[in-house]
Structure 1
Amino acid sequence: MTTHGRALLVRRVIHDGRPVSHVAKELGVSRQCAHRWVARFRAEGAAGLDDRSSRPRRTPTKTRPEREAAVLQARSRLRFGPARLAPETGVPARTISRILHRHQVPPLAWLDPVTGTVIRASRSTTNRYERESPGELVHVDVKKLGRIPDGGGWRAHGRGEQVRGRGIGFDYVHAAVDDHTRLAYAEIHPDEKGTTAAGFLTRAADYFKQHGITTIERVISDNAFAYRNSTAFKKAVADLGATQKFIKPHCPWQNGKVERFNRTLATEWAYRQPFASNQARHDALAPWIEHYNTGRIHSSHGLTPAARVSPT
């Protein structure tokens, strides 16, 4: 029950003098639950209706700090998993797993097997970031999709049916997302060359301008050849008066706004329904983009991207 529901229960029982069983049935809880909240209110007042931690007051079986230190030392020295550390330390494997998790020890797969140093890229920060104003940073990326044969592919006919889908190539969905508002724009092209990406960026900037983002200050992308080495793309960025930025290699979360958009694009447009042809999927993109920007509430700020551009 919410705090409001608990207060409602207490008011009906104590102030209205109604039977606990009747009120419990009205609110859809057991009599034991209702009696517990009434008792807590009588003992503590309104504060007794607040949520409490379910953590026990004392844990007499908790692993002692010296045993935890021994487990961590053995892990650092032997670089074994919990199952092999258990006989070495005398601590159950499941307890070792909890100790390693509690102390944020990286998995063995992340470590160099010779030196034990971390070699797998990890997030440099767990803090969520967002630029302060529209146009301050625009993320760009390309999503690769297999083309749909005429008549539909396996999503329309099932995997058991023989459908012509191999060898017909791929579509490349170029996408741009504004960091602050999440306003998005996408186009489908037959390749991901630098000239194609440059033309897309120019049209994306025009689209953003039509929706209230008049200036783009920075453009960030991954290290794909079209973004890092294309003269045409660099010129397109310069023509916008923007600065080109790149993510750190093997750190795709730095371009996470457009990566998350690509996932939404796939689940809500590309694979939302079985299309009878590739052109049918093409035709469905523009209406979906319009819905994404003007009709779909974004969970990060509770507004549509278009409303975030102009809150009034």
Structure 2
Amino acid sequence: MSHPNATLTPRTRLRLARLIVEHGWTCTAAAKMFMVAAKTAAKWAARYRAEGVAGMADRSCRPRRSPTRTPEHLVRAIVRLRWRKRLGPVQIAGRLGLPASTVHAVLVRCRINRLSRIDRVTGEPLRRCAAANTTIPGR
């Protein structure tokens, strides 16, 4: 779904691309009519030529691959140290030879970034009862 304030929705992109490809408008003239840059108009026209109507749809901005992502075996080691030893990001980073910021990012992604949410004795996540204002481990 397009952003609500987007200049070009998929339907408008199609109109823009058809003016350029099928009706012979210049990219500059079509861009001026739709109040976008000529480069943007050229991009949508090229995509229309290559993919047709399907090319006008919104695409994900998520990268196809992440070559610098933390390897899975390191993620497991970070989580294991967090649960078993209840160490913070700096201590885990020192043991594994990683930057503390990387360890913290992994802990946030796994939703175990706060030691205060883990019971010190059992290691289970805490669930707080608001009515009794007490902490019950594992419930």
Tell me the TM-score range normalised by the shorter chain: 0.7 to 0.9
Aligned equivalents of 2:101, 2:64: Cα separation in 1:
23
Q: Is 1:47 matched with 2:60?
A: no
Distance in 2 (alpha carbons) for counterparts of 1:102 and 1:63: 11
Q: Distance in 2 between matches of 1:250 and 1:22?
A: 63
2:22 aligned partner: 15
Aligned partners of 1:9 and 1:23 also within 8 Å: yes
Distance 1:97 1:114, change over 3 A: same
Secondary structure class of the residue paired with 1:120 = strand
- SS, match of residue 117 in structure 1: coil
Q: Give 3-state SS (helix, strand or coil) of 1:60's partner.
A: coil
**Stretches of 4+ aligned residues off by more than 3 angstroms:** none
Q: Does 1:67 align with 2:74?
A: yes
Instruction: State yes or no: 1:109 paired with 2:116.
Output: yes
Q: Deviations over 1:56-106 (max 9, x none)?
A: 222222221111111111111222332332112222222223322332326
Q: Is the 8 A contact 1:112 1:119 kept in 2?
A: yes
Amino acid paired to 1:42? R
Q: TM-score, normalised by structure 1?
A: 0.36
Identity level (%):
38
Question: Would the aligned equivalents of 1:111 and 1:120 in 2 still touch at CA under 8 Å?
Answer: no
- Pairs aligned (count): 124
1:86 counterpart = 2:93: yes
In structure 1, stretches of 5+ residues that fail to align are 122-248, 252-312
Change (3 A) 1:20 1:54: same
Change in CA separation of 1:73 and 1:96 when aligned onto 2, cut-off 3 Å: same
What amino acid is aligned across from residue 100 of structure 2 in structure 1? Answer: A
State the TM-score, normalizing by the size of structure 2.
0.75
Code of the aligned partner of 1:51: D
Deviation track 1:248-289 (CA, whole Å, cap 9, x = no partner) reads x528xxxxxxxxxxxxxxxxxxxxxxxxxxxxxxxxxxxxxx
Please identify the structure whose Cα radius of gyration is greater.
1
Which segments of 5 or more consecutive residues in structure 2 lack a partner in the other structure? Answer: 1-7, 132-139
Instruction: Letter of the 2:19 partner, please give it.
Output: R
CA distance in structure 1 between the aligned counterparts of 2:114 and 2:71, rounded to whole angstroms? 23
Higher strand share: 1
Aligned twin of 1:250: 130
CA distance in 2, matches of 1:62, 1:106: 18
CA–CA distance in structure 1, aligned partners of residues 87 and 32 of structure 2: 55
Q: Distance in 2 between matches of 1:93 and 1:76?
A: 17
Distance 2:85 2:64 in 1: 35
Tell me how large the CA RMSD over aligned residues is: 2.1
